[in-house]
Structure 1
């Protein structure tokens, strides 16, 4: 684990803690007049600053709100040290479907904790679970912010330092190696679901609400947030841990450049953008894909569907991709648009090669986490 790194991950001065956010103020105001009703109209817990959960956790504020839950910042009143005094509590919405989803997530979280008693595998640790006013609650070690927030704050439109990317890559692949060993697919890996500590030198994968077993999955074209969705999902192949490696590669590109790699507005547009960078979809994948006919014709040429900017009607055209990237769209051109000094160019070439392997179109050829850790970009013995 990279806890001992002393370098400044972003090259900026530390940012002071801010006052309560507008969202926290609104949430608190909404809770002030709740009476005996602890839920809002959508089933979210209407928490109030100062609320006590489970006779132990005092609400300090809000980390954020998602489809399934609210995550609140709390002080552990029974903490034995200042380092453990703050926790994050995920408060599931109060309905039966959300509870089932929460219980499923807890099962995966418990497997991750049971196999990692020393907390070295870079997956978030659940500390306990309980019920509060009919809401299922999960207690986690507190982290500072997610990677999307970190990049927005420290590397917007330019990315973060290559040494920070390298450190994060090692920690991310360590987590994925561990998950692969347990047969767990995260299935929603993206910067929002990767968190870092306040020193920015410790990374953990979080939010296992979409997790599934690697060997028992139903084909669906919409698993994983679209920008991080692997082509095997969109093509309708049986999927497993390689979809997380794809998402990891796209995430690392984003950290390095400060921009999202593929911003397609549909699966069809995503496949177009991916082939511009990676070349033509292998015939083997097209033949296996349950949804291939939506995107490829009988000659294995791509069927691109776009809206006419004037009429708004769908226009279909055929694109004959080559087996290589469209000129100017290849990874090296995107990662190193200008000539760099020799040492920087070497790291850039190593990083481009790592991403090429993480982003193989054929999931059976995609780099495995254990091999990624041995790659020259990640191997600390090859600095």
Structure 2
């Protein structure tokens, strides 16, 4: 058996690669940050531990990477793989270097959750990668926060790529009972020993989305029995059909009669499972959710602006709806990657009606438009080139193509300066503003920003108004205005005195006033409950201490 030599920083992996540091180590290999001496490029080298000694290139991950490279998968938020080589009989895989994962990001934030504005582009990019994997018949089988890397952070915030295809397999070759998926992200069909499809990756995506939103794992646990206990307490009993067909159902469930004298499966208690397998149950949940609907109340919205508070409540409602579809217990009814991309939470269709009056919605659109702009890059164009070219373009031109399918924002409407009407009629004002926008878009649209075009046109209209004597505005004679105002005041005082002399108290008048005095007064809602900051209350149900990932997440790994 080959000995797995140590990777020392400053040492040499081969004559072409010098080791800078060791960035990770797992069950199946080690990852080192290296510099390629030929072109001084920083790359990531993954050295595989267990492999076939006769044929080192006979590897499951290498086969999956070759298939992905043939399909040009780097365009679909998947890590770019360069080549494979051997060092002392060990297979080494060379990738582009990505420094930080979503797990590292949460640790840097001391497990403070991300906002939905940041979670949305992450979910969209992962769903796009899973959609591509499904189209080529591949299951990732190990989707988790550690395997989603940030790209060029913080210059390109929340742009991610999917890595680690060590457990990837083809959908047609999926074996029942395979040991795949990390426990906190493991789907019920894998635990029960059922046939599985790409739906197991969708379950992992749902667990990831909840972890980013709350700051803690949804279903932590040392054993599969603990995970099943968490799932049943939060989402209810598993479908009877799944339990009847599972190869490992009898390991975690027992048969008994219910109140209706129907024979059904029931999850074994923690004492029964400890007596049979000697695994003690330790509840590691930060918050014990009785339903996924309780995610609606984990965030306290305190915004002064009523439109922003309303938009955030609608956004949370759609997020929880998407999570419930991602974590459907029946894999056949679970949402697909394409349906995730078409969901209201991803497309922002539930917030389009309030975009004009909410700065929160406007910022959500900016996050999505940035992703759409990156998606339209040419396949052979590098990210460095695109950033350099976009730096020389006006801001309005770079966002115009991304915002083509959305209604105009509040910032765009402010740039449209409407000139004064020539004849004072509203129809003439609309025609002049329409012609102004159309002419400003057709004149030098590639070099001059839209705001500058509108201002230039506005100045030209003002010059035209002052140059033509027929178009000058009529001067106001303030003496006539003052005389007319005094006449109106005199008439009103005379009429008021006349009405006062003729008035007399009546029962109808008295009852009317009495009736109006007891009517309920409609008050505006107290807007003091909305504060400027958007705080999210995260409390431990038992001890109220801050939760960290160190004691639970690292131990849950294989």
Which range, TM-score by smaller chain?
A: 0.7 to 0.9
- For 1:335 and 1:99, locate their aligned partners in 2 and report how far apart those are by CA, in whole Å: 53
Q: Secondary structure at the match of 1:314?
A: helix
Please point out which of 157, 175, 195 is paired with 2:149.
Answer: 195
- For 1:280 and 1:73, locate their aligned partners in 2 and report how far apart those are by CA, in whole Å: 46
**What does residue 24 of structure 1 align with?**
none
2:184 paired with 1:216: no
- For 1:335 and 1:110, locate their aligned partners in 2 and report how far apart those are by CA, in whole Å: 43
**What does residue 11 of structure 1 align with?**
none
**What does residue 322 of structure 2 align with?**
354
**What does residue 249 of structure 1 align with?**
206
Please point out which of 254, 263, 266 is paired with 1:302.
Answer: 266
- For 2:4 and 2:296, locate their aligned partners in 1 and report how far apart those are by CA, in whole Å: 42
**What does residue 178 of structure 1 align with?**
132
- For 2:110 and 2:345, locate their aligned partners in 1 and report how far apart those are by CA, in whole Å: 20
- For 1:196 and 1:205, locate their aligned partners in 2 and report how far apart those are by CA, in whole Å: 9
CA deviations 1:177-207 (Å, max 9, x no partner) are 0111111111111111111124153211111
Which structure 2 segments of 5+ residues have no match?
257-262, 278-287, 302-308, 352-558
How far off is 1:218 after superposition? 1.9
**What does residue 107 of structure 2 align with?**
152
Q: Secondary structure at the match of 2:94?
A: strand
Contact 2:9 2:22 in 1 (8 A): no
2:237 paired with 1:280: yes
**What does residue 161 of structure 1 align with?**
115
Q: Which has the higher strand share?
A: 1
Please point out which of 301, 314, 320 is paired with 2:275.
Answer: 314
- For 1:250 and 1:102, locate their aligned partners in 2 and report how far apart those are by CA, in whole Å: 33
**What does residue 60 of structure 1 align with?**
20
2:340 paired with 1:367: no
2:69 paired with 1:113: yes
Q: Secondary structure at the match of 2:344?
A: coil
How far off is 1:262 after superposition? 0.4
- For 1:357 and 1:101, locate their aligned partners in 2 and report how far apart those are by CA, in whole Å: 40
How far off is 1:127 after superposition? 0.6
- For 1:205 and 1:142, locate their aligned partners in 2 and report how far apart those are by CA, in whole Å: 12
- For 2:224 and 2:218, locate their aligned partners in 1 and report how far apart those are by CA, in whole Å: 14
Contact 1:92 1:136 in 2 (8 A): yes
The worse-fitting range, judged by mean Cα deviation, of 367-376 and 282-291 is 282-291
Which structure 1 segments of 5+ residues have no match?
1-40, 317-326
Q: Which has the higher helix share?
A: 2
- For 1:68 and 1:230, locate their aligned partners in 2 and report how far apart those are by CA, in whole Å: 22
Please point out which of 82, 90, 95 is paired with 1:140.
Answer: 95
Q: How many residues align?
A: 324
- For 1:366 and 1:97, locate their aligned partners in 2 and report how far apart those are by CA, in whole Å: 41
Q: Secondary structure at the match of 2:217?
A: coil
Distance 1:217 1:100, change over 3 A: farther
**What does residue 10 of structure 1 align with?**
none
How far off is 1:264 after superposition? 2.8
**What does residue 263 of structure 1 align with?**
220
Please point out which of 31, 48, 52 is paired with 1:96.
Answer: 52
CA deviations 1:99-123 (Å, max 9, x no partner) are 7697221110111122126x22111
TM-score (norm 1): 0.77
**What does residue 162 of structure 2 align with?**
205
How far off is 1:168 after superposition? 0.5
CA deviations 1:245-290 (Å, max 9, x no partner) are 1011101111111100001332222112112221121122122222
- For 2:38 and 2:240, locate their aligned partners in 1 and report how far apart those are by CA, in whole Å: 59
How far off is 1:90 after superposition? 0.3
Contact 2:56 2:86 in 1 (8 A): no
Please point out which of 344, 348, 373 is paired with 2:312.
Answer: 344
Distance 1:372 1:77, change over 3 A: same
How far off is 1:228 after superposition? 0.7
Distance 1:232 1:99, change over 3 A: farther
CA deviations 1:136-188 (Å, max 9, x no partner) are 110000112121111111250x3112111111100110110011111111111
CA deviations 1:64-115 (Å, max 9, x no partner) are 11122110001223338xxxx2110001227637976972211101111221
RMSD (Å) for aligned C-alpha atoms: 2.7
- For 2:255 and 2:312, locate their aligned partners in 1 and report how far apart those are by CA, in whole Å: 43
Q: Secondary structure at the match of 1:366?
A: coil
Q: Secondary structure at the match of 2:255?
A: coil
The worse-fitting range, judged by mean Cα deviation, of 178-187 and 336-345 is 336-345
- For 1:315 and 1:93, locate their aligned partners in 2 and report how far apart those are by CA, in whole Å: 34
